[in-house]
Amino acid sequence: MGNEYLIAALVYVVSSVGLMFYLQQQSSKLKSKVDALTLLVKESDRQRESVKRELNELRSGTIGMGRKLIELEKKQNAQSELIEETSQQDPQAKLYSRAVKMIALGADIDELMRECELPKAEVELLLRLHKK
């Protein structure tokens, strides 16, 4: 009966050592996987920070462009008002504005000459410039 205990103890020790080696291998595999995942996370963080910086740069550029567009729109509105004021002060310009509106409505050469009191050559030029 003593041999049986000895054999059982030997089997227990051998299987424990085998199990220990197996667990050590698995632990080593898991450690290498954890290391690989850690590298991936670090690379992902680096890329995320890079994208974040680029996004901030784009956002700043967009804000700057928006401000410039607002300035340009203000300048355009001011120039449009100035043109409108100038055309209101010049009686000849009123005739041309009226002629352009009439052209848009489909007026012919004779009608334009009669209503706007413009020479035929000017009416023909206006028609060529503003007909679609």
Walk along the chain (132 residues) and give the pLDDT tens digit of each residue: 678 888 888 888 888 988 999 999 999 999 999 999 999 999 999 999 999 999 999 999 999 899 999 999 999 999 988 877 776 666 666 777 888 888 888 888 899 888 888 889 888 988 898 875
Give the global pTM: 0.43
Task: Let me know: does 112 contact 123? Beta carbons within 8 Å.
Answer: yes
pLDDT at 49: 95
Q: pLDDT, tens digit, for every residue of 20-57? A: 999 999 999 999 999 999 999 999 999 999 999 999 99
